[in-house]
Structure 1
Amino acid sequence: MSTLFDLSFSVTVPFWALMIFAPTWRWTRVIAGSPWIVLAPLTIWAIVTVPVLGTLWALVTAPSLAAITDAAADPAILTALWAQILAWDLFLGRWVYLDSREREISPWLMGPVLVGTILLSPLVFPVYLVLREVAGRGSRDREVATVA
């Protein structure tokens, strides 16, 4: 189980590396443009989840802190949850990357935002939403100045 736990992060690293370290490379946009980049961690999730699907189903249909705390002691449940978190963070990071490229937000600014998305997406995602509004205002101001 430990190998699958470790592998679930390792399979996401190449995509994060492209978005952070090669954001303007044409192939990064092509690769990140596909929602299928989350397939690898979701495959690990499926492999781990099938044997514990009954337990996991009970947790999500009747959640309680006590039940989730008890289930987290099971390496298979914890690995499944970890793979799901990593897949979600990658999907969210993919959207942030693509949105920032479309808005022409500086890759120097987006690198730390994407690293933050890997580490603490619930905290950093709202920061990005504010950033995109500020950057959006700047690009609207440039468009108005260009037209005038």
Structure 2
Amino acid sequence: MSTEILFDLSFYLAFPFWALMILAPTWSVTRRVAASPLIVLPSLAVNLVLMVPLIADFWPVVTSPSLAGLRALVGSPPALAALWAQIIAWDLFLGRWIYLDSRERGVHPLLMGPVMVLTILLSPIGLPVYLLLRLAYRENSGAEPASREAQGRTMA
């Protein structure tokens, strides 16, 4: 399989999970699917297909990182595609956490849609945006279990 196809495949394998979390966030199937961290495995499989033949090139860069070493490594299209697949998998893992946390906190899906899209495109911006948004829901999530306990006591 060509490097270009594998590069594209890494995103296409992650896209259905993103689509569920963004377009159908309240659907019970979405919650069940996103509950598993295994959703990142397809993109990681692409990463491994690309990286394993280049492990001798990757090893020095990850064990003794340098900008020059990384620059030389990413000069190779298969190495760059492998790193891209790793980024796609990481973004999905992060998006999965954001999705699950936002559902637990009761953040409205219309607020979360743009945050999730931002996380797909630029996760170093999407994550801090979500963490700021999450602050507004801290009390909400903390009050919810207490209210349930109080309701349980009144009913008893």
* Shorter-chain TM-score tier: over 0.9
Which of the numbers 48, 51, 59 marks the counterpart of 2:50?
48
Where does structure 1 differ by over 4 angstroms across 4 or more consecutive aligned residues?
138-147
61-70 vs 130-139, which moves further? 130-139
1:47-102 per-residue CA deviation (whole Å, 9 max, x = no partner) reads: 11110001111111111111111111101110110000000000000000000001
Q: How does 1:96-135 map to 2 (within 5 A)?
A: 96-135=98-137
- CA–CA distance in structure 2, aligned partners of residues 129 and 89 of structure 1: 15
Q: For structure 1, which runs of at least 5 residues remain unmatched after alignment?
A: none
TM-score normalised by structure 1 residue count: 0.93
Are 1:25 and 2:31 counterparts?
A: no
User: Which amino acid letter does the alignment assign opposite residue 98 of structure 2?
Assistant: V
Q: Is the 8 A contact 2:34 2:100 kept in 1?
A: yes
User: Which amino acid letter does the alignment assign opposite residue 32 of structure 2?
Assistant: V
**Greater RCO, CA 8 A, separation 6+:** 1
Which of the numbers 89, 95, 101 marks the counterpart of 1:93?
95
TM-score normalised by structure 2 residue count: 0.88
- CA–CA distance in structure 1, aligned partners of residues 103 and 124 of structure 2: 21
- CA–CA distance in structure 1, aligned partners of residues 92 and 78 of structure 2: 21
Are 1:66 and 2:68 counterparts?
A: yes
Aligned length: 147
Which of the numbers 12, 15, 19 marks the counterpart of 1:13?
15
The Cα shift of 1:138 comes to 4.4
Identify if the C-alpha distance between structure 1 residues 53 and 24 changes in structure 2 by more than 3 Å, giving closer, same or farther: same
Q: For structure 2, which runs of at least 5 residues remain unmatched after alignment?
A: 151-156
